[in-house]
Amino acid sequence: MSAGRVLTVLRKDLQLGPRSPIFLWVLLLPVLITLVLQVAFGDLFDPEPRLGIVDEGASVITAAVAEIDGIELTRLDDADVLRSRVEANDLDAGLVLAAGFDGDVRGGARPPLEFYVGGESLASNRIILAVTAVELIRDVEGRAPPVDVEVVELGEEGLPISVRLVPFITMYALLVAAVFLPSFSLADEREKRTLDALVVTPVKLSEVVTAKGILGFGLAVPMAVVTLWLNSALTARPLALIVVLVVAGVMLVEIGLIYGTASKDITGVFTLIKGTGFILLAPTIFYIFPDWPQWIAKLFPTYWVINPVYEVTINNEGLGTVWVELAIALGVAVLLAVIAMALTARLRTKLATT
């Protein structure tokens, strides 16, 4: 194998790559997936209670709510606007504090309190906002609450859904660059019969396959880093992260080369991806639903690269914690390399006979 010829093929792919929709997909998909899953689904599964307040007398209640973590406060100037926003489900609840409210409460009076609740708001958010409002009013009154509440946390603190989605998003970015790009590129050249011309040129098929793999790997690792950065998941252990991503990139590139050399055309690649895509992404589902039996995830080969990514980025672990998973992943990569070389040899024979 000639390194010069490999670089020549790689240079050609880099020059023509930006014209391909797959190439652009590799660059844009991590950003789009992050926007869709983190912004839309993150807000859907982990919504903060949204409280609107119309404060006509600079009440201390408004200032107290503003200092509470976990409640999204919106200040408004008109009670009618507040009511309409609660009805439209833009707010979970609305509170109107009349002028002199604090003084009346401290003086023992019972001033009217307008508290609106959205019909489409979550029951948990309604309870949180109602209890918070009552407690703050008691503080203004200066009376002790009738009971002392002690909050006891049972079990480990769960991770937000936005964090649990990081393995899925990162894995998808790796798959698109390391699997889709090499496989589609090889299938496209085979479909256009440009690989048939190799029999009369010094370039070997193995050199073309190697160049495709280098291209996929060279995009997969940086795009995974970009994806982690977009999701605020870059770790304080950069060496461990790079090692983990390199192993993941190698394994997935080999899967992409297997798809590309085993398929006759782009339709065949699509069929393989649709048939096995779930297997590749399945382990990420167990991070989204941690109550599921986690041992099942270990049955999928990509678990051995997904879990190290999770441990290093989310739990800030080092290589000493994930070396067993990485060793297994390297063993899987060796097996995949043997399969890829066998399929390349078979394809070379087919090209020579035709």
Distance, in Å, from the CA atom of 140 to the CA atom of 61, rounded to the nearest integer, reads 8
pTM value is 0.68
For 143, phi then psi, to 5°, come to: -95, 145
Query: Of the segments 43-57, 135-149, 259-273, which one has the largest average pLDDT value?
Result: 259-273
Provide DSSP, 148-205: -------SPPPPPHHHHTHHHHHHHHHHIIIIIHHHHHHHHHHHTTTGGGGGGSS--H
Task: Put the strands of the sheet holding 114-117 in their side by side order.
Answer: 72-76, 50-55, 93-97, 114-117
In the chain, what are the domains? 3-42+160-353 (no CATH), 47-141 (3.40.1710.10)
Phi/psi of residue 201, nearest 5 degrees: -125, 160
What's the CA gap between 227 and 236, in Å, rounded? 16
- Tens-place pLDDT, residues 43-98: 544 567 888 888 887 888 888 888 887 788 888 888 888 888 888 888 888 888 88
Both tokens of residue 172?
A: 């998808």
SS3 246: helix
Contacts of 81 (CB under 8 A, 6+ apart): none
Helix (H, G, I), strand (E, B), or coil: what is residue 125? Answer: helix
Statement: residue 105 has pLDDT above 80:
no
For residue 108, is it left (φ>0), alpha (ψ between -120 and 50) or beta?
left
- Out of 5-9, 43-47, 261-265, 272-276, which region has the weakest mean confidence (pLDDT)? 43-47
Distance from C-alpha of 342 to C-alpha of 345, rounded to nearest angstrom: 5
Tell me, what's the pLDDT at 154? Answer: 40
Cα–Cα nearest to 354, from 144, 143, 248, 199? 199
HSE (CB half, 13 Å, CA atoms) of 303?
A: 15
**Which residue spans within the chain are E strands per DSSP?**
50-55, 72-76, 93-97, 114-117
Question: What number of residues does the chain have?
Answer: 354
Q: Percentage of the chain with pLDDT > 90?
A: 14
pLDDT at 160 (0 to 100): 65
DSSP secondary structure letter of residue 71: -
Cα separation, 166 vs 177, whole angstroms: 17
Q: What is the mean pLDDT of the chain?
A: 81
Over the range 249-266, which residues count as b (16 or more CB within 10 Å of their CB) and which as e? bbbbbbbbbbbbbbbeeb
Q: Which amino acid is at 235?
A: T
Q: Give dist(CA 304, CA 289) in Å, integer.
A: 18
